[in-house]
């Protein structure tokens, strides 16, 4: 129970008073007490019905002295317009519920409070500088501002502005006319100030409910406040304005940010020392925004810090939650509005409606003969004859009565003094109720903030704007006192924001400008990584040219593509049989397998062995000894020691094959550099290692590249599979070429699989234009600088490292992690390519991105996490597109070599990046289709690895029917 005296609230002369025990807020009752100006007797209240429609008073609790005879219609009306504190507490509870539901994704957008992310995570920091334009759409006008910020803490911004009255038909006309009008205002304004021609960022203040997906992407959800322009709902209003601006030939004006008016208010009131974290607007409509804890924003995928949320609380009650608070007058106002049934809370609070509520109250009371007895009241049936401005004037303590007299007389109502007095009380009740409801909403937001920040007491600045708050002191008083009663755990410092100068809008735009400046830096940095279609077509043409040269006996040495014959001349035909050993060396894992090829299935048992980096980069002898040890271990475990099985060896490095079982290593790639191997036959090296280990039962019959193994493995299931692609640690492709086109080999009949070794594409400099500074750094720091240049743009061994280099550059540019890197991020390869796959996973909350970054000792904000994701996307998209350009050259060459109009072919594909990355395969396939429209290409993912393919090649070799086999 509350013990408060009205004087504590400064409400002695108002319609509100606080009743002894119950703290009910109730109007001064007219009629029985002639002494206006003192708190009146409550004797009439208890027996009268609380609700003008006859419902019982419910929570209204009165002392015994308050009981008395039934009340008059006017008293009833006033009571109906006066919620008790208990009732307001209840409403606050409902608001809190709606608020929390709105924040939660799980509610599936069911809440009436939309809780829209604004993408404003920071308030002005004083470093903003430059010229900005602001266009502000208001109820009846458009304001255009020019602000010059000097970066001096924004103490002395220079401002110019012009207000353009809006023709009356615009808010109900076409969307095009509205945006054309705004754009024309911008144009006239710019002409007035001498047509500056430099690039001008524009902030658009648009006070309607929008679903934002970025600072400059905002779809109008629905109109309100009497606006209902056609063809705007569901559209991006930034785009609409930008299009209208372009129509005015203002190509130098870029709409960079869209902001709700509440956000503008919050920014106006916010200073560096005294940040304002809530804004409340009570104008023609009402709304509230506040800085919400990011981890609660499921729908915005936010991580750390806070983001300003536009609550759009005007829609509260659209689900019926406020029905018990509504009077018959509210119902009538709603029915006559442009959006019946919608924005119920706004219609209780917004100044667009208060005059109308009073009008309906008078009208109904007059028809009950409780007011204007015997007078012609037909004028009151006309919408908007009584404005909210007049309601506020009538409320005035000093000359309110005179005003009432004048206003009512002007309406031809011939009011008596009693009429004037009652109308004044109705006005006060309606405005006081609006204040009490605003306070209730605000109290809910405050309590939520206090709770979500786990504070015992929240001290916070609240920016308040809007005609109602500024014009009526009573409104402010009630707002303050009711907030104090409903959220006693919070100390809200209400700060009036008189935004006459447009500073709020400017600050908002300035922050947007700072963000744009940062965005420009980001764009500048990432631009070289964004390849156009023309770029990709050039890559495709270069790949094609290098392929032709690589196949040409004379020009082979000029080409960066070796186009190595593999001695594999057929893809599997299903007749292969037998039991084979297989080795798979060169990918992420080293595997030893036993493959049993039977009539109707292939049975595989395999084991993964680790090859320590020291062995990869040690001596060849040690490497092959290690491989032999793994084989022997495997044979032992599988009970195969006594058997001499033919062995297929997947060796995923460039080899000059001299036969199916003879492959001279040309150079190491990926992380390998074991000495004494280059120029040697790897099969021979394996045999020697077997001898060293006195393992006599090794019969290597075929050595294949992993691309070939993959093509064969997939070819077993799909005879159209004539291409093998790897996008893993490294990248490479093989394909079936017409022998007649292979100038480096004799013989014209049939086809042979060519191992392109496309990872080396560009090693002769032909791709240098596409190499960015980040790629150069990655290349320089690799163990094979200047080599495998295409691979270094695409494959898993390098993408993480490219991302790391970009992140370091963004930190250097002060646009990431507040310009501070971590020690960890300085380490080569610390940012693994698997992070790209995780970070880019659709639906992954940015909080998880933040988790990855915090393991790297990086303290990432929401924007940081989003930017890291964008970097990952840019790098992986480029890789996929480059891969598509390469593949387009391959399929087109096959199509032409075969003299076909249309080629239908399957690509067998393997590799961790391809398999694990959420978008790589789709990006690759989409772009391939665009670049090679005359080829129908299907991608078949290899499930069992290329060891299976090596076994199939071995099977063919053992059958002895391969004409090319030197067996």
Residue 199 is among the residues annotated as catalytic for this protein: no
Pattern 567-606, ligand GLC, x by CB under 6 A: -------------------xx-------------------
> Does 724 sit near ligand BG6 (CB under 6 A)?
no
> Does 762 sit near ligand BG6 (CB under 6 A)?
no
Catalytic residue among 419, 706, 944, 962: 706
> Does 757 sit near ligand GLC (CB under 6 A)?
yes
Q: Which stretch binds ligand GLC (CB under 6 A): 206-214, 355-363, 649-657, 675-683?
A: 649-657
Q: Which is nearer to ligand BG6, 277 or 584 (CB)?
A: 584
> Does 157 sit near ligand BG6 (CB under 6 A)?
no
Q: What is the 3-state secondary structure (H, E, C) of 49-74?
A: CCCCCCCCCCCCCCCHHHCCCCCCHH
Q: Give least dist CB 913 to ligand BG6, A.
A: 6
According to DSSP, the residues that pair with 606 across neighbouring strands are 593
> Does 792 sit near ligand GLC (CB under 6 A)?
no
Q: Which does 876 bind (CB under 5 to 8 A by kind): ligand BG6, ligand GLC, none?
A: none
Find the distance separating the first CA and the last CA of the chain, reported in whole Å: 101
> Does 729 sit near ligand BG6 (CB under 6 A)?
yes
Q: What is the sign, positive or negative, of the torsion defined by CA atoms of 608, 612, 616, 622?
A: negative
**What is the Cα 258 distance to its own chain's centre?**
16
Catalytic residue among 270, 559, 652, 965: 652
Q: Which is nearer to ligand GLC, 588 or 967 (CB)?
A: 588
Q: Distance (Å, rounded) from C-alpha 696 to C-alpha 698? A: 6
Residue facing ligand BG6 at closest CB distance? 728
Determine what percent of the chain falls in helix, strand and coil, rounding each to the nearest 5.
Answer: 45, 20, 40
Range list of β-strands (E), 513-635? 564-565, 578-585, 590-597, 602-609
Q: Which is nearer to ligand BG6, 185 or 726 (CB)?
A: 726
> Does 762 sit near ligand GLC (CB under 6 A)?
no
One residue of 220, 726, 811, 875 binding ligand BG6 per CB under 6 A: 726
Q: Which is nearer to ligand GLC, 497 or 669 (CB)?
A: 669
Q: Give least dist CB 714 to ligand BG6, A.
A: 11
Q: Distance (Å, rounded) from C-alpha 94 to C-alpha 447? A: 12
> Does 670 sit near ligand GLC (CB under 6 A)?
yes
Helix (H) or strand (E) holding 428: helix 417-452
Count of residues in contact with ligand BG6, rule CB under 6 A: 18
DSSP alpha helix (H) spans, 159-292: 175-192, 237-247, 261-269
CB–CB of 510/159 below 8 Å?
no
Using DSSP, state whether 87 is helix, strand or coil.
helix
> Does 710 sit near ligand GLC (CB under 6 A)?
no
Q: Which is nearer to ligand BG6, 207 or 949 (CB)?
A: 949
> Does 796 sit near ligand BG6 (CB under 6 A)?
yes
Question: Tokens 């890291």 — which residue?
Answer: 868
Q: Which stretch binds ligand BG6 (CB under 6 A): 273-281, 334-342, 433-441, 584-592?
A: 584-592
Burial of 245 (0-12, 13-18, 19+ CB in 10 A): buried
Count of residues in contact with ligand GLC, rule CB under 6 A: 19
Q: Distance (Å, rounded) from C-alpha 124 to C-alpha 514? A: 9
Burial of 966 (0-12, 13-18, 19+ CB in 10 A): exposed
DSSP classification of residue 166:
P
Taking the CA atoms of residue 325, residue 328, residue 331 and residue 333 in that order, the dihedral angle to the nearest 10 degrees is -110
Residue 706 is among the residues annotated as catalytic for this protein: yes
One residue of 20, 201, 502, 654 binding ligand GLC per CB under 6 A: 654
Q: Which residues contact 961 (CB under 8 A, 6 or more apart)?
A: none
> Does 707 sit near ligand GLC (CB under 6 A)?
yes
> Does 587 sit near ligand BG6 (CB under 6 A)?
yes
According to DSSP, the residues that pair with 650 across neighbouring strands are 584, 704
Q: Which stretch binds ligand GLC (CB under 6 A): 252-260, 461-469, 499-507, 651-659?
A: 651-659
> Does 728 sit near ligand GLC (CB under 6 A)?
yes
> Does 652 sit near ligand GLC (CB under 6 A)?
yes
Q: Give least dist CB 703 to ligand GLC, A.
A: 12
Q: Which does 910 bind (CB under 5 to 8 A by kind): ligand GLC, ligand BG6, none?
A: ligand BG6
Q: Which residues contact 82 (CB under 8 A, 6 or more apart)?
A: 15, 16, 24, 25, 26, 27, 429, 432, 433
Q: Distance (Å, rounded) from C-alpha 760 to C-alpha 716? A: 29
DSSP alpha helix (H) spans, 453-532: 467-471, 473-486, 503-526
Q: Which does 46 bind (CB under 5 to 8 A by kind): ligand BG6, ligand GLC, none?
A: none
List the one residue out of 910, 936, 933 whose CA is nearest residue 921.
910
One residue of 566, 650, 733, 837 binding ligand BG6 per CB under 6 A: 650
> Does 942 sit near ligand GLC (CB under 6 A)?
no
DSSP 790-845: HHHHHSHHHHHHHHHHHHHHHHHTT-SGGG---TGGGSTT-S-HHHHHHHTSTT--
CB–CB of 564/663 below 8 Å?
no
Q: Which does 732 bind (CB under 5 to 8 A by kind): ligand GLC, ligand BG6, none?
A: ligand GLC
List the one residue out of 500, 478, 547 whose CA is nearest residue 757.
547
Catalytic residue among 591, 687, 751, 804: 591
One residue of 726, 794, 884, 928 binding ligand GLC per CB under 6 A: 726
One residue of 180, 465, 546, 584 binding ligand BG6 per CB under 6 A: 584
823 HSE (CA, 13 A, CB side) = 0
One residue of 113, 342, 911, 962 binding ligand BG6 per CB under 6 A: 911
Q: What is the 3-state secondary structure (H, E, C) of 103-134?
A: HCHHHCCCCCCCCEECCCCCCCCCCCEEEEEE
Q: Which is nearer to ligand GLC, 606 or 729 (CB)?
A: 729
Q: Distance (Å, rounded) from C-alpha 817 to C-alpha 809? A: 11
One residue of 730, 796, 800, 886 binding ligand GLC per CB under 6 A: 730
> Does 669 sit near ligand GLC (CB under 6 A)?
yes
> Does 653 sit near ligand GLC (CB under 6 A)?
yes
One residue of 293, 546, 661, 910 binding ligand BG6 per CB under 6 A: 910
Q: Distance (Å, rounded) from C-alpha 572 to C-alpha 765? A: 37
> Does 763 sit near ligand BG6 (CB under 6 A)?
no
One residue of 287, 405, 652, 837 binding ligand BG6 per CB under 6 A: 652
DSSP 272-331: SSS-EEEEEEESSSEEEEEEEEGGG-GGGT--SSEEEEE--GGGTTTTSTTGGG--HHHH
Q: Which does 759 bind (CB under 5 to 8 A by kind): ligand BG6, ligand GLC, none?
A: ligand GLC
Q: Which does 654 bind (CB under 5 to 8 A by kind): ligand BG6, ligand GLC, none?
A: ligand GLC
Q: Which stretch binds ligand GLC (CB under 6 A): 270-278, 415-423, 648-656, 831-839?
A: 648-656
Residue 821 is among the residues annotated as catalytic for this protein: no
Q: Distance (Å, rounded) from C-alpha 477 to C-alpha 485? A: 12
Q: Which does 709 bind (CB under 5 to 8 A by kind): ligand BG6, ligand GLC, none?
A: ligand BG6
Q: Which stretch binds ligand BG6 (CB under 6 A): 5-13, 104-112, 360-368, 910-918?
A: 910-918
Q: Which stretch binds ligand GLC (CB under 6 A): 107-115, 260-268, 501-509, 724-732?
A: 724-732
Active site members: 591, 652, 706
Contacts to ligand BG6 by CB under 6 A: 584, 586-588, 650, 652, 706, 709, 726, 728-729, 796, 910-912, 945-947
Which residues in this chain contact ligand GLC in the complex, by CB under 6 A?
A: 586-587, 652-654, 669-670, 705-707, 726, 728-732, 757, 759, 791
């Amino acid at each position: 129970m509350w013990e408060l005296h009205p004087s504590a609230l400064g409400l002695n002369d108002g319609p509100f008073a606080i009743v002894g025990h119950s703290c009910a807020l109730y109007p001064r009752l007219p009629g029985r007490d002639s002494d206006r100006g003192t708190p009146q007797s409550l004797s009439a209240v208890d027996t009268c019905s609380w609700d003008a429609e006859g419902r019982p008073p419910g929570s209204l609790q009165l002392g015994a002295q308050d009981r008395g005879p039934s009340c008059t219609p006017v008293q009833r009306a006033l009571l109906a317009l006066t919620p008790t504190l208990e009732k307001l507490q209840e409403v606050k509870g409902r608001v809190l519920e709606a608020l929390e539901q709105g924040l939660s994704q799980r509610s599936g957008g069911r809440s009436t409070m939309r809780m829209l992310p604004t993408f404003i995570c920071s308030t002005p920091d004083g470093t903003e500088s430059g010229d900005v334009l602001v266009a502000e759409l208001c109820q009846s006008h458009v304001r255009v501002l020019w602000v010059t910020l000097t970066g001096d803490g924004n103490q002395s911004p220079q401002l110019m502005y012009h207000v353009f009255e809006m023709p009356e038909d615009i808010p109900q006309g076409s969307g095009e006319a509205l945006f054309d009008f705004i754009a024309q205002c911008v144009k006239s304004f710019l002409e007035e100030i001498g047509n500056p021609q430099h690039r001008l960022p524009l902030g658009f203040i648009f006070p309607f409910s929008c679903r934002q997906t970025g600072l400059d992407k905002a779809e109008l959800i629905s109109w309100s406040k009497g606006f209902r322009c056609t063809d705007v709902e569901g559209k991006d209003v930034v785009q609409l304005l930008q299009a209208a601006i372009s129509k005015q030939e203002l190509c130098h004006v870029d709409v960079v940010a869209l902001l709700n008016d509440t956000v503008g208010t919050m920014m106006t009131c916010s200073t560096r020392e005294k940040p304002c974290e809530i804004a409340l607007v009570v104008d023609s409509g009402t709304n509230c925004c506040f800085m919400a804890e990011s981890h609660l924003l499921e729908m915005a995928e936010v991580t750390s810090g806070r983001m300003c949320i536009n609550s759009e609380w005007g829609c509260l009650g659209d689900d019926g939650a406020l029905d018990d608070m509504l009077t018959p007058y509210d119902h009538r106002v709603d029915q006559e509005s442009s959006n019946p049934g919608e924005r119920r809370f706004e219609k209780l609070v917004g100044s667009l409606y208060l005059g109308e509520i009073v009008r309906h109250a008078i009208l109904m009371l007059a028809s009950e003969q409780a007011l204007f007895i015997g007078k012609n009241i037909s004028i009151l049936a006309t919408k908007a004859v009584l404005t909210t401005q007049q309601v506020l004037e009538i409320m005035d303590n000093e000359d309110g009565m005179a005003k009432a007299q004048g206003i009512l007389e002007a309406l031809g109502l011939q009011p008596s003094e009693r009429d004037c007095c009652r109308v004044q009380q109705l006005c006060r009740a309606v405005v006081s109720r609006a204040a009490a409801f605003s306070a209730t909403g605000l109290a809910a937001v405050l309590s939520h903030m206090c709770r979500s920040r786990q504070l015992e007491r929240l001290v916070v600045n609240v920016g308040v704007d809007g005609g109602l708050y500024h014009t009526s002191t009573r409104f402010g008083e009630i707002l303050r006192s009711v907030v104090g009663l409903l959220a006693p755990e919070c100390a809200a410092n209400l700060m009036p924001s008189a935004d006459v100068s447009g500073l709020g809008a400017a600050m908002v735009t300035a922050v947007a400008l700072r963000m744009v400046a940062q965005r420009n830096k980001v764009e500048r940095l990432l631009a070289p990584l964004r390849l156009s279609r023309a770029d990709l077509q050039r890559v495709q043409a270069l790949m094609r040219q290098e392929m032709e040269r690589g196949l040409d006996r004379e020009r082979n040495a000029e080409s960066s593509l070796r186009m190595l014959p593999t001695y594999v001349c057929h893809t599997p035909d299903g007749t292969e049989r037998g039991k084979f050993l297989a080795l798979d060396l060169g990918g992420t894992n080293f595997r030893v397998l036993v493959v049993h090829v039977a009539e109707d299935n292939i049975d595989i048992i395999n084991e993964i062995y680790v090859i320590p980096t020291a062995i990869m980069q040690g001596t060849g002898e040690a490497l092959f000894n290690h491989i032999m040890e793994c084989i022997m271990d495997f044979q032992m475990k599988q009970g195969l020691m006594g058997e001499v099985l033919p062995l297929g060896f997947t060796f995923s490095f460039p080899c000059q094959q001299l036969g199916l079982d003879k492959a001279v290593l040309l150079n190491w790639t990926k992380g390998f550099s074991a000495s004494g191997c280059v120029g040697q036959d790897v099969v021979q090296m394996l045999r020697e290692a077997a001898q060293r280990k006195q393992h006599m039962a090794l019969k290597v019959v075929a050595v294949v590249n992993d691309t070939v193994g993959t093509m064969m493995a997939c070819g077993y299931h799909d005879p159209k599979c004539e291409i093998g692609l790897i996008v893993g640690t490294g990248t490479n492709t093989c394909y079936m070429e017409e022998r007649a086109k292979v100038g480096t080999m004799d013989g014209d009949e049939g086809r042979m699989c060519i191992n392109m070794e496309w990872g080396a594409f560009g090693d002769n400099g032909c791709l240098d234009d596409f190499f960015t500074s980040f790629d150069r750094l990655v290349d320089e720091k690799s163990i094979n600088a200047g080599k495998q240049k295409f691979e270094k743009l695409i494959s898993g061994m390098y993408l993480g490292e490219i991302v790391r280099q970009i992140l370091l550059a963004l930190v250097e540019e002060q646009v990431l992690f507040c310009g501070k890197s971590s020690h960890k991020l300085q380490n080569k390869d610390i940012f693994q390519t698997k992070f790209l796959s995780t970070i880019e996973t659709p639906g992954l909350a940015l909080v998880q991105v933040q988790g990855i970054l915090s393991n790297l000792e990086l303290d990432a904000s929401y924007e940081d996490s989003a930017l890291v994701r964008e970097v990952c996307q840019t790098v992986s998209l480029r890789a996929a597109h480059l891969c598509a350009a390469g593949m387009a050259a391959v399929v087109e060459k096959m199509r032409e070599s075969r003299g076909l109009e249309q080629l239908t072919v399957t690509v067998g594909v393997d590799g961790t990046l391809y398999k694990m990355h959420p978008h790589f395969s789709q990006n690759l396939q989409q772009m391939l289709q665009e670049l090679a429209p005359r080829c129908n290409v299907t991608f078949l993912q290899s499930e069992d690895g290329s060891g299976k393919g090596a076994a199939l090649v071995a099977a063919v070799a053992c059958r002895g029917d391969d004409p090319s086999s030197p067996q």
